[in-house]
């Protein structure tokens, strides 16, 4: 049995960057100018901020030392009665301001050609099904947590369609964002990116490689697979539970004793589990999500 950890950020060298990958400024429907939005994220400890206004590419403000900025755009796509949103980062070409794509295929093809990294936003808010996710060809990632959607309508989590797609063999990353349109949404969800250098190019390459995890609070400090024993081990900030989640009813829940949070957990990986990801829940109920790693039951390290 072999667990493919090539997408693990914990095996990569470099810098950890706290990233805001989905934001809105006064260029579209946000409440802060790009300059003020960047300053607000910097005060909250972010080192990577993408500007992803609706159907418009915001001019990038001059970043302060230690902060990386990315161009971006959020596109609303027609899909029957629903309207999925796709987000692109580090754009090689600007999207025509104010224009909406005419089809999912148009938006997807433009992002594949023009964005260094792209993903599907808030599946719950858009009322998307697993079939909808599977219909987006070569989709790199989805938002598994969107704090704006949680705080506005209670549909900020999207782990079920994520797991359903993973169970069907898709490779799909999971991101956390704040998608802040107002002050109370700011800084409530983020993605931690492991980049070899604190530059836009290196950060986007790290995203494309899957070198990140998502969080609304907990820290995943390390995640390692011991090929000799077939055991996946995690170290984390104090947690009330650590879950090893995989296909169907397989996996493991490691629950802390009341009043004694745990900071580590381990699971002998089931060779028939398809994939495995780790979810950490802190004592206040906030969560962090590792990426998903494929399991080859007949493979060798």
Q: Which two tokens stand for residue 108?
A: 């997807």
- Domain 2-214: give its CATH superfamily: Metal-dependent hydrolases (3.20.20.140)
3-state secondary structure of 113: helix
Q: pLDDT, tens digit, for every residue of 116-126?
A: 999 999 999 99
As annotated, the residues of the chain forming the CATH 3.20.20.140 domain(s) are 2-214
What integer is the mean pLDDT of 232-243? Answer: 98
Q: What pLDDT does residue 249 have?
A: 87
Percent of the residues in the chain that have a pLDDT greater than 90, as a whole number: 88
| 220-296 is a CATH 2.60.40 domain | yes
Per-residue pLDDT for 301 more than 70?
no
Q: pLDDT, tens digit, for every residue of 39-73?
A: 999 999 999 999 999 999 999 999 999 999 999 99
Within 8 A by CB and 6+ apart from 160, the residues are none
Q: What pLDDT does residue 297 have?
A: 82
As annotated, the residues of the chain forming the CATH 2.60.40 domain(s) are 220-296
Q: What pLDDT does residue 81 have?
A: 81
3-state secondary structure of 254: strand
Which regions of the chain does DSSP assign to beta strands (E)?
2-3, 15-20, 48-50, 68-70, 72-76, 85-91, 115-120, 141-146, 173-177, 190-195, 212-215, 220-226, 231-239, 241-246, 251-255, 262-268, 275-281, 287-289, 293-296
Cα separation of 199 and 187, whole Å? 21
Per-residue pLDDT for 176 more than 80?
yes
Q: What pLDDT does residue 300 have?
A: 60
Cα separation of 287 and 117, whole Å? 24
Q: pLDDT, tens digit, for every residue of 245-285?
A: 999 889 999 999 999 999 999 999 999 999 999 999 999 99
Tell me which H or E stretch contains 150: helix 147-153
Task: Flag whether the pTM goes above 0.75.
Answer: yes
pLDDT band at 240 (very low <50, low <70, confident <90, very high): very high
């Amino acid at each position: 049995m072999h667990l493919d950890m090539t997408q693990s950020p914990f095996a990569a060298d470099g810098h950890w960057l706290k990233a805001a990958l989905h934001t809105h400024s006064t260029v579209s429907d946000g409440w802060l100018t790009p300059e003020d939005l960047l300053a607000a994220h910097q005060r909250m400890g972010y080192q990577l901020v993408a500007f992803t206004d609706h159907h418009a590419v915001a001019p990038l403000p001059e970043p302060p030392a230690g902060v990386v900025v990315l161009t971006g755009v959020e596109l609303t796509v027609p899909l029957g009665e629903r309207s999925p949103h796709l987000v692109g980062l580090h754009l090689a070409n600007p999207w025509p301001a104010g224009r909406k794509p005419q089809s999912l295929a148009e938006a997807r093809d433009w992002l594949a050609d023009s964005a260094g990294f792209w993903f599907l936003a808030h599946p719950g808010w858009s009322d998307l099904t697993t079939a909808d996710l599977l219909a987006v060809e070569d989709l790199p990632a989805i938002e598994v947590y969107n704090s704006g959607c949680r705080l506005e309508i209670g549909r900020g989590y999207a782990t079920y369609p994520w797991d359903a797609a993973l169970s069907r063999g898709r490779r799909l990353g999971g991101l956390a964002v704040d998608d802040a349109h107002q002050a109370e949404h700011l800084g409530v969800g983020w993605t931690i990116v492991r980049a070899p250098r604190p530059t836009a190019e290196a950060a986007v390459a790290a995203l494309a490689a899957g070198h990140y995890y998502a969080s609304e609070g907990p820290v995943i400090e390390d995640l390692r697979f011991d090929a000799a024993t077939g055991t996946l081990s995690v170290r984390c900030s104090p947690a009330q539970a650590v879950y090893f989640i995989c296909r169907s009813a397989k996996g493991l829940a490691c629950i802390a004793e009341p009043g004694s949070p745990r900071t580590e957990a381990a699971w002998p990986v089931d060779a028939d589990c398809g994939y495995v990801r780790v979810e950490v829940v802190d004592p206040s109920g906030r969560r962090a999500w590792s990426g998903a790693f494929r399991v080859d039951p007949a493979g060798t390290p």
